[in-house]
Structure 1
């Protein structure tokens, strides 16, 4: 199972995850993916060294093997599972594109995190 941790207090993050939940309804029902709000379980990933602020800044997930995925790697894992979006995982998650995908994701996440902090969404 892929367990995705995200911040519902961020309207962009919440809307994006809600969109994915609708696209992945069968996978959710089958127990292949789960979406969890980090604000209800702030120490959930402390064993991985991830703080509440880390998870508010970037998506985090644990996969079926218990590995931690962060940022763009979470997006790629979700796209792989999403009907009609596996091409995104192929395009942005391939070994050549992934470093650029991670860089772009991280810069966007930094801007979004700063915007949310300025708006007092914590």
Structure 2
């Protein structure tokens, strides 16, 4: 199962209207800018974008905690599996031809673990910064 190796999130399988559903937090300006850039490059038929800041009720069906999704990107893939953090980000990148070249080196065993750790550290700092700014 392609889930963040560092994450403790239990595997969740759900049915989706589109092949992928990305859960993100628009209240974070860095996250919002990243998602806006990805949305411009990914076919709308491939991804449903769920802004948990504006639609927190969408998390109930998945059993997800709002604070967890505010901290890290979450994605339900085409097979209905929940992906969190770096794994979710790399799956989203895989839907953009522009970033395909980056996936190969980031998928190498040691590099993948370091990427996950770096993502978690950055996401945690970004989450704390957003909270200190009173964004939620």
TM-score by length of 2: 0.81
* Higher RCO (C-alpha under 8 Å, 6+ residues apart): 2
* Aligned counterparts, 1:28-107, within 5 A: 28=44, 31-107=45-121
Which deviates more, 82-91 or 7-16?
A: 82-91
Moved more, 93-102 or 106-115: 93-102
What is the Cα-based RMSD across aligned positions, in Å? 1.3
* Residue 10 of structure 1: aligned partner: 28
SS in 1 for 2:130: helix
Aligned equivalent of 1:113: 127
Moved over 4 A (4+): none
Does the aligned pair in 2 maintain the 1:10–1:116 contact within 8 Å? yes
What SS does structure 1 have at the residue aligned with 2:117?
A: helix
Q: Distance in 1 between matches of 2:112 and 2:62?
A: 22
Structure 1 alignment gaps of length 5 or more? none
Q: Distance in 2 between matches of 1:94 and 1:46?
A: 34
Residues 3-60 of structure 1: CA deviation (Å, up to 9, x unaligned): 1110000000000100111111xx21xx111211012331433444420000000000
Where structure 2 has 5 or more consecutive residues not aligned to the other structure, the ranges are 1-18
